Amino acid sequence: MRRQRAGRAHLTVAVSLAAAHLAFVPASAHAADPAGCTRDGTHITCTNGVPKGQTVTGTSGDDTIEVTGTVHGTIDGGDGNDTITVHGRNGAPGSNTSGRRADADNGGDGENAVGSGGTVLGGAGNDIITLIGGNGGKGGTSFARFGKGGYGGLGGDSVEAGVVDGGRGINLITLRGGAGGIGGAASNGKPGDGATGGRGLDAGRVIVGADQHSSLTIDGGTGGDAAPGGRDSGDGGVAVWRGVMEGGTAPEGVSIDITGGDSGRGSGEGWGGVGFFIGELMGTPGGDDITLEGGKSRSSRAKGRAFVSGPLDTKGGDDTITVRGGVTASTQCGPGNDTYNYTEQRGIPNRRTCEHINRFR
Ligand SMILES: [Ca+2]
Ligand SMILES: [Ca+2]
């Protein structure tokens, strides 16, 4: 492709864009938006992600911002009660095959919703932010005499090395990994395995809110089912693989719910995803409600562990921490009148800071 010259040519483009705005109100394209974005007042749609270095900026009103693809740049909802939704694209299905000794193709991996360097800002107002990794594609089917079925594609992560900040107001933030792809069947050879679900948070940072009681839900993606005739399904995705979650400074606390993905269906391998594998979770000075849970296995394997390695520090306030599934890490309940509930092995309890420790079914 030829490079465009700066200078006059650039100016001409700017002028004609301005003319276009005058001619088509409401404008379908906003000059500052990335390619693939269109606007109709406060409704902004982007079909090709947000590239690094570019920004989608909402109005001061209540925006609906819908993005398909990966965010490597910035989405800034600004003031108002904004609804921001990002879906990573799904992976393509693997191609089928036939003939002698021909293995079918694996499914394509799902895209991350927010990738390296990506930033999603709710700004002031009560924002709903939903970030969902793309689903892995189905493995191809082999009709060949000896060929194997394709593996499913991996589910995409919700946030990988990105930043999400709900800002002031009552925010509802959801991170969910994409589902792993289903394995492909084989007429004569070995069927393909289902793939692992995507992660909720991988090496990113989430700031739930600032001044009011906001909520964060992080789910690992569901594993892909075993191929028809096959055994091994995909593991559930880890909800928090690594990364930092900050409650913020809300005096009334926050709610944080972290759950590993369920495995796919099959008779062989397929573990439930871990809830909180490793990372840093910091509550607010207020009363926080925090739940950690491993994903279920829908094959013959085990439920995922709920909490492997923190730190988890709920800070001040009267906090409630609930852990469903195995736990090997210590919880720091902090000052306040705190309640710690668990269902399985408790690991290392911090009896000095968790005042009420209850085992329940
Ligand atoms: Ca706005
Ligand atoms: Ca907000």
Ligand (nearest to CA of 168): 2
| pTM summary value | 0.90
User: Same structural domain for residues 4 and 117?
Assistant: no
Q: Assess whether 44 and 20 both reside in one domain.
A: no
CB 330 within 8 A of CB 292: no
From the list 156, 107, 152, the residue with the least C-alpha distance to 131 is: 156
**How far is the centre of ligand 1, averaged over its atoms, from the C-alpha of 82 (Å)?**
5
CA distance 80 to 301: 46
Distance (angstroms) between ligand 2 centre and the Cα of 56 equals 16
* Closest ligand (CA of 77): 1
Task: Kindly give the distance from the C-alpha atom of residue 80 to the centroid of ligand 1, in angstroms, as a whole number.
Answer: 4
Per-residue pLDDT of the chain (361 residues; tens, 9 = 90+): 333 333 333 333 444 444 444 444 455 678 799 999 999 999 999 999 999 999 999 999 999 999 999 999 999 999 999 999 999 999 999 999 998 878 999 999 999 999 999 999 999 999 999 999 999 999 999 999 889 999 999 999 999 999 999 999 999 999 999 999 999 999 999 999 999 999 999 999 999 999 999 999 999 999 999 998 899 999 999 999 999 999 999 999 999 999 999 999 999 889 999 999 999 999 999 999 999 999 999 987 788 999 999 899 999 999 999 999 999 888 888 889 999 999 887 766 677 788 899 888 7
- Ligand closest to Cα of 127 equals 2
Cα distances from 258 to residues 174, 195, 277, in angstroms, run: 10, 21, 10
Helix ranges (DSSP H) in the chain:
8-23
Distance (Å) from CA 213 to ligand 2 centroid: 11
Same structural domain for residues 199 and 288? yes
Q: Say what the pLDDT of residue 9 is.
A: 36
Alpha carbons 68 and 14: distance in angstroms, whole number: 27
246-259: b or e for each residue (b if 16 or more CB lie within 10 Å)?
A: bbbebebbbbbbbb
Are 82 and 8 part of one and the same domain?
no
Tokens of 73: 């740049």
Domain span including residue 136: 33-361
pLDDT of residue 25: 46
Q: Which residues are within 8 A (CB) of 19 and not within 5 positions of it... i.e. 6 or more apart?
A: none
Give 68 Cα–ligand 2 centroid separation in angstroms: 22
Ligand 2 centre distance from Cα of residue 171 (Å) = 5
Terminal-to-terminal C-alpha distance of the chain: 64
Tokens of residue 208, six digits:
């739930």
Question: 38 C-alpha vs ligand 2 centroid, how far in Å?
Answer: 23
119 and 153 assigned to the same domain: yes
Query: What is the whole-number distance in angstroms between the Cα of residue 74 and the centre of ligand 1?
Result: 14
Q: How far apart are CA 299 and CA 47, in angstroms?
A: 36
In a shared domain, residues 223 and 245? yes
What ligand has the least distance to the C-alpha of 125? 2
Q: Are residues 125 and 158 in the same domain?
A: yes
Residue 60 and residue 14 share a domain:
no
Provide the residues around ligand 2 (an ion) whose CB is within 5 A: 122, 125, 127, 166-167, 169, 171
Please answer whether residues 232 and 268 qualify as being in contact, where contact means their C-beta atoms are separated by less than 8 angstroms.
Answer: yes
User: Is residue 43 within 8 Å of 84, Cβ to Cβ?
Assistant: no
Separation between Cα atoms, residue 81 and residue 179, nearest integer Å: 29
Q: What is the dihedral of CA 327, 333, 337, 338, to 10 degrees?
A: -20
Backbone angles phi and psi of 277, in degrees to 5: -80, -60
What is the three-class DSSP state of 203?
strand
Ligand with smallest separation from the Cα of 59: 1
Q: Do 243 and 180 reside in the same domain of the chain?
A: yes
Q: How far is CA 255 from the centre of its chain?
A: 17
CA of 125 to the centre of ligand 2 (A): 4
Query: Which one of the ligands is nearest to 82 CA?
Result: 1
The ligand with the least distance to the CA atom of 83 is: 1
Q: Which ligand is nearest to the CA of 124?
A: 2
CA distance 355 to 297: 33
Query: How far apart (Å, rounded) are the C-alpha atoms in residues 150 and 152?
Result: 6
Could you tell me the distance, in angstroms and rounded to a whole number, from the CA of residue 165 to the centre of ligand 2? 8
Q: Are 45 and 69 in contact (CB under 8 A)?
A: no
Distance between CA 297 and CA 205 in Å, rounded?
A: 28
- 28 phi-psi bin (left φ>0, alpha ψ -120 to 50, beta other): alpha
User: How many Å lie between the centroid of ligand 2 and the Cα of residue 71?
Assistant: 19
52 and 125 share one domain: yes
Q: State how many domains the chain has.
A: 2
Distance 123 CA to ligand 1 centre (A): 8
Q: At a CB cut-off of 8 Å and minimum separation 6, what does 20 contact?
A: 27, 29
CB 88 within 8 A of CB 134: yes
Query: What separation in Å is there between the alpha carbon of 65 and the centre of ligand 1?
Result: 9
Two structure tokens written together for 136: 């892995």
Buried b / exposed e along 162-193 (16+ C-beta atoms within 10 A): bbbbbbbbbbbbbbbbbbbbbbbbbeebbbbb
* Cα 166 to middle of ligand 1, angstroms: 12
Same domain, residue pair 22 and 98: no
Q: Are residues 267 and 299 in the same domain?
A: yes
Output the pLDDT for position 28. 65
Q: Which numbered ligand comes closest to the C-alpha of 79?
A: 1
Cα of 165 to ligand 1 centre, how many Å? 14
Closest ligand (CA of 121): 2
Give the number of whichever ligand sits closest to the CA of residue 209: 2
